[in-house]
Structure 1
Amino acid sequence: MLRRILCGVSAATLLLSAGAAMAQDFSAERISEEIRTISADDFLGRYPGTEGEKKTLDWLQARYEAMGMEPGGPNGQWLQPIDLKRYTPVADSASASWTGPDGTVHALQAGTDIILRAATNDGQARVKNAGLVFAGYGIHAPERSWDDYGDIDVRGKVVIVLSGEPTAEGVTERFNGAYPTAYNNGWYKADEAFRRGAVGIITLMPVAATDAGWLRMGQFNNRQRTLSPGAADLEFSGAINHDLGAQWAAAAGLDMATLSDTATGEFKAKALTGVTLSVAAAETIDTLRTHNLLARITGTEQPDETIVFSAHWDHVGVGSDHVSEVSTTTDNIYNGAWDNASGTVGILEMARQLKAAPAPKRTIVFAHMAAEEMGLLGAYGYVANPVYPLETTVADINIDMLPLSAPTRDLPIFGKGQNTLEDKLQVLAEAEGRYVTDDGQPEQGFYTRSDHFPFVRAGVPALMTWHGVDLDEGGTEVGKPAYDAKFRADYHKVSDEWSADWDLRSAVENLTLLYRLALDLANGDEWPTWKPTSEFGSTRALSDGARQ
């Protein structure tokens, strides 16, 4: 069958450089049985900080010990502790007012006029008479010839931004068309404002003060929020409606027309001269301790250069609050067999195969990340306090939900067009009669939603493969509806349970290609790079000297 015939000089070179790449023996039966084990009811949905976490990590450690693997965590341990700060607003503690150029103070009703959170630092926000700057989308993207800030100084001020990224015809291609870039996200805007010295950030919502959606935002603003490790340490974040924004602009003598031309790339940030904002808010803090588990194979020649395989071990626990008692009458355990017992076991199986291969020149780390379902928090915790320097981390290869289908011709990845890892994968895929494509679901924003992404934000080239739909037999006409139905039926539902009927042949094919990619990286001296249009290349470039 042509699908299985290796072809092309570049493919042959890549496979030969990977040494014993063909010696692997990924087992669908073993993968299935291990998924069945850690997605069983007695693992209680694998929620961080519960008995389900302990049972999961004990099970993983035992498997790695049986392989003869080395502990890969800090100080020769298996576990990396991750302390997650959870913030809850203190009732009636939030207050705000603004002062106009004439000195008149205007009180604001927190939760109605303005929404405030102090979920950073010590949970105490105190800002007095800070100047305001409207920065459009709050985007500085030189690789896309876009700079909302210009040369304005925002140190000690509050930055006001629009949500999302430009969507006007003529500029969308600067921002990956239908696929959102990192600039679309609130964390990016907060990071950029903090980097420039701002004390707070406010999102301007394009709705009236009476809008039902706006009022709901205020009503639900008291929910507990968990801070991502390494997040921007602003005094506060918040949101205002269009009506209040218009009042501030008018008070500053600005024509709203000059503030609305934000989608062309010509706009530059403007100070709201004479208008200041005062804010106070308080939040209680409690800490949830969870753990990443890391194992490693130490490189024989370049041990300080690291390839990381990652997958999250956690799911969402039991019941709507994650920690309910197990029901005796209904199924309330979120077993998370597909998401992400499958990826967890995929990493374990990858480790098993790589351990059986000749020892690599570079170090390979197998990282089982905590609290992905809470916002990639275990991976963010690792990146904020890396066990292996990020500057000499060659790549992260992430697995989140193995494909459950017969073999496919397509090999989707998240973030296509970002870095050269996909080019290497394309060579390997072509040798098998397959092709690399994007994930086909731009509305999902998948690139920012799994554990590869904290590495990406830190500048480390990363790759995550996804579920193919172009079946060898039946094509997309059969494969796409089957995938869509499976995703709708089981994603984050109690029905996400192991089944003996799962077809793991596509999973084995993908794992085999990633195995070959890993050996090529681990036995070479190449450093994957970001492509010129990537928003993450400039971050990686800051540490170029460490990779000379």
Structure 2
Amino acid sequence: MTRFQITGRVAAAALLLAAWPAQGQDFSAERLSQGVRSISSDAFAGRYPGEIGEGLTLGWLQARYEMLGLEPGGPDGEWLQPVDLTRYEPARPARAAWRAGGEAHPLADGFLLRAASNDGRAQVSGAPVVFAGYGIYAPERNWDDYGDIDVEGAVVVVMSGEPDGALFNGDYRTAHASDAAKAAEAYRRGAVGVLTLVDATAAEPAWARRAQFNDRRRTLSPGNDDLEFTGAVLAATFGQWAEAAGRTLEDVTVDLGGGAFRAMALEGVTLDVDAEETVETQRSWNLLARIPGTERPEETIVFSAHWDHVGTREGGEGDHIYNGAWDNASGTVGLVEMARELKAAGPFERSIVFLHVTAEEQGLLGAFWYAANPVWPLETTAANINIDMLPLSPPTRDLPIFGYGQNTLEDELQALAGAAGRYVSDDGQPEQGFYFRSDHFAFARAGVPALMPWHGVDWVDGGREVGLPAWQAKFRSDYHQPSDEWSEDLDFTSAVENLTLLYRLTVDLADSDRWPGWKPTSEFGPVRARSDAARE
């Protein structure tokens, strides 16, 4: 497993430990438990956006922030930020053909596409085809699959994933591996569509899964790149295109992971696409509360958590409500309790915002909406701390985080954890890609240093031998299941421990002029660098 070496911070642990005031730090396991009990009750119906649970949850949150004396943090001095969720479904079967030498070849098998973006209509005629390897441009790693090729108006074909090896974080993949990052890079260069090359046959699971889910309804929000279409193509179909251009599939895809590859046009091969989607918009809401700063109120620390869950299910026997006590009533209530303690300890030089986002379960949509429409400028947002599923266990020595090795917030957290006899680690599950699966990622993608603490498994009593199997059993039994309900047996001890460290980190950062940064190998550093002038 590739891990980054923790580097020292200029701010020593002693300074961090001296920073927080005597008041505050009174996190209560009982208050956490009772808050979770409230908003994960059956009356909230699984907190699905657009249904009864949304209004109940937002009302519950607003009432508590008003009681604590926080001010509204949304647009125009309101508590709520409207979020428009745009849903797409194919209106009819898409039509496509590839052409070479004046001859048209209709595409049906071995080809999938969706026009789920902008107006839901894709009409492309005679678009040249470019194979771009992994489709990655990573200046922080001296990697460029595109080189000097012009892809304006072209369809870009890319391989999934990223090269193996330490250059791309080894077991822990980077954001460059995602379909969204590849689409964004192609769009930035002027492409009209992106197709993922699937090295499989039509009968293999890798293709069957894509085909099975291709026509499902998709929900998007701003921040997605407005390509005309995205999709996938089987190796055999792409091989025909390569041969029509005087090449073979093998010589086109050779040496993709060595760093010497550069994108190539399939000369004489073009694509025609005609696809249409029905478009429906649903209004949902983020909620924001704020503690304004005294000296530099334009500088902001954003805590985030998603208030939504997956609602209810129809039919069948047994419990029909996905109460979401752990995911993410725990994080939602954790933010309220953090606000309670910080309000008591403040005010601070910088502002602190508590952002409760919608539609995380549908693809981080509320967080991406905020990143595309920030109420408080992202250029002067010092950090995002995201809480998604507080740990529910006895005390732990470890404090895993998503994205270990990405930014300097982890070094400051390590200084605090070390003083408490604990240590910061990676999440231990590289195959899950956790860094890209919760709301902090919307901030990271926009360049804001983001921290996401996770569940410790190195229990003080019993170590990993006891803690890891206990966590695995709970995750298997309760994650996105009706069994994720409040009970008196939920143990919030480790949640209080983590919240206390995050509180101390926040107090120090809120009364400093320090700007956390991305580490040299982070893919998000170049994004943050574009706004350096705003923080000078």
TM-score of Structure 1 vs Structure 2, range by shorter chain: over 0.9
Q: Return the offset for 1:250.
A: 0.5
What aligned pairs does 1:35-54 form with structure 2 within 5 A after superposition?
35-54=36-55
In 1, Cα distance between the equivalents of 2:329 and 2:16?
30
Q: Return the offset for 1:144.
A: 1.5
In 1, Cα distance between the equivalents of 2:245 and 2:479?
49
Pair 1:161-2:161 in alignment: no
Residue number in structure 2 paired with 1:113: 110
In 1, Cα distance between the equivalents of 2:19 and 2:28?
24
**Partners of 1:21 and 1:515 within 8 A in 2:** no
User: In 2 relative to 1, CA 158–11 (structure 1 residues): closer, same or farther, beyond 3 Å?
Assistant: same
Number of positions where the alignment pairs a residue of Structure 1 with one of Structure 2: 526
1:507 is aligned, of 492, 495, 499, to: 495
Pair 1:524-2:512 in alignment: yes
1:416 is aligned, of 401, 404, 422, to: 404
What aligned pairs does 1:91-110 form with structure 2 within 5 A after superposition?
91-92=92-93, 94-100=94-100, 102-109=101-108
Residue number in structure 2 paired with 1:304: 298
In 2, Cα distance between the equivalents of 1:63 and 1:288?
27
In 2, Cα distance between the equivalents of 1:257 and 1:246?
9
Q: Return the offset for 1:257.
A: 3.2
**Partners of 1:248 and 1:272 within 8 A in 2:** yes
Pair 1:223-2:220 in alignment: no
In 2, Cα distance between the equivalents of 1:440 and 1:212?
27
Pair 1:78-2:72 in alignment: no
Instruction: Letter of the 1:54 partner, please give it.
Output: G
Structure 2 residue matching 1:17: 3-state secondary structure = coil
Residue number in structure 2 paired with 1:264: 258
User: In 2 relative to 1, CA 452–9 (structure 1 residues): closer, same or farther, beyond 3 Å?
Assistant: closer
User: In 2 relative to 1, CA 249–465 (structure 1 residues): closer, same or farther, beyond 3 Å?
Assistant: same
In 1, Cα distance between the equivalents of 2:48 and 2:435?
23
Structure 2 residue matching 1:339: 3-state secondary structure = helix
Structure 1 residue matching 2:275: 3-state secondary structure = strand
**Partners of 1:44 and 1:52 within 8 A in 2:** yes
Alignment RMSD (CA, Å): 1.4
In 2, Cα distance between the equivalents of 1:279 and 1:426?
52
Q: Return the offset for 1:219.
A: 4.4
Identity within the alignment, %: 64
Structure 1 residue matching 2:36: 3-state secondary structure = helix
Residue number in structure 2 paired with 1:358: 346
Instruction: Letter of the 1:433 partner, please give it.
Output: G
Deviations 1:476-496 (A, max 9, x none): 111111111111110000000
Q: Return the offset for 1:88.
A: 0.4
1:371 is aligned, of 355, 359, 383, to: 359
Q: Which moved more, 1:211-220 or 1:247-256?
A: 211-220
**Partners of 1:21 and 1:519 within 8 A in 2:** no
**Partners of 1:209 and 1:243 within 8 A in 2:** no
**Partners of 1:143 and 1:532 within 8 A in 2:** yes
* TM-score, L = length of structure 2: 0.96
In 1, Cα distance between the equivalents of 2:445 and 2:22?
30
| Unpaired runs of at least 5, structure 1 | 1-7
Pair 1:143-2:155 in alignment: no
Instruction: Letter of the 1:228 partner, please give it.
Output: S
Residue number in structure 2 paired with 1:14: 16
What aligned pairs does 1:107-506 form with structure 2 within 5 A after superposition?
107-109=106-108, 112-167=109-164, 172-211=165-204, 213-215=206-208, 217-260=210-253, 261-319=255-313, 324=314, 330-506=318-494
In 1, Cα distance between the equivalents of 2:443 and 2:206?
34
Which structure 1 residue ranges, 4+ long, deviate > 4 Å from structure 2? none
User: In 2 relative to 1, CA 220–481 (structure 1 residues): closer, same or farther, beyond 3 Å?
Assistant: closer
Q: Return the offset for 1:414.
A: 0.3
In 1, Cα distance between the equivalents of 2:167 and 2:303?
31
Instruction: Letter of the 2:260 partner, please give it.
Output: E
Q: Return the offset for 1:22.
A: 5.8
In 2, Cα distance between the equivalents of 1:259 and 1:39?
53
Q: Return the offset for 1:528.
A: 0.3
In 1, Cα distance between the equivalents of 2:203 and 2:420?
58
In 1, Cα distance between the equivalents of 2:451 and 2:220?
25
Residue number in structure 1 paired with 2:530: 542
Deviations 1:64-120 (A, max 9, x none): 01111100000000000100000000123x1001111x21111112xx231110000
Q: Which moved more, 1:220-229 or 1:421-430?
A: 220-229
**Partners of 2:127 and 2:270 within 8 A in 1:** yes
**Partners of 1:120 and 1:234 within 8 A in 2:** yes
Q: Return the offset for 1:208.
A: 2.2
**Partners of 2:306 and 2:388 within 8 A in 1:** yes
In 2, Cα distance between the equivalents of 1:502 and 1:256?
55
**Partners of 2:339 and 2:354 within 8 A in 1:** yes
In 1, Cα distance between the equivalents of 2:139 and 2:167?
11
Deviations 1:147-195 (A, max 9, x none): 111111101101000111112xxxx101111111101100000000000
In 1, Cα distance between the equivalents of 2:414 and 2:234?
46
**Partners of 2:84 and 2:221 within 8 A in 1:** no
Q: Return the offset for 1:502.
A: 1.3
What aligned pairs does 1:46-65 form with structure 2 within 5 A after superposition?
46-65=47-66
In 1, Cα distance between the equivalents of 2:204 and 2:453?
40
* TM-score, L = length of structure 1: 0.94
Deviations 1:174-223 (A, max 9, x none): 11111111011000000000001101000110012444652453344221
User: In 2 relative to 1, CA 530–9 (structure 1 residues): closer, same or farther, beyond 3 Å?
Assistant: closer
**Partners of 2:199 and 2:235 within 8 A in 1:** yes
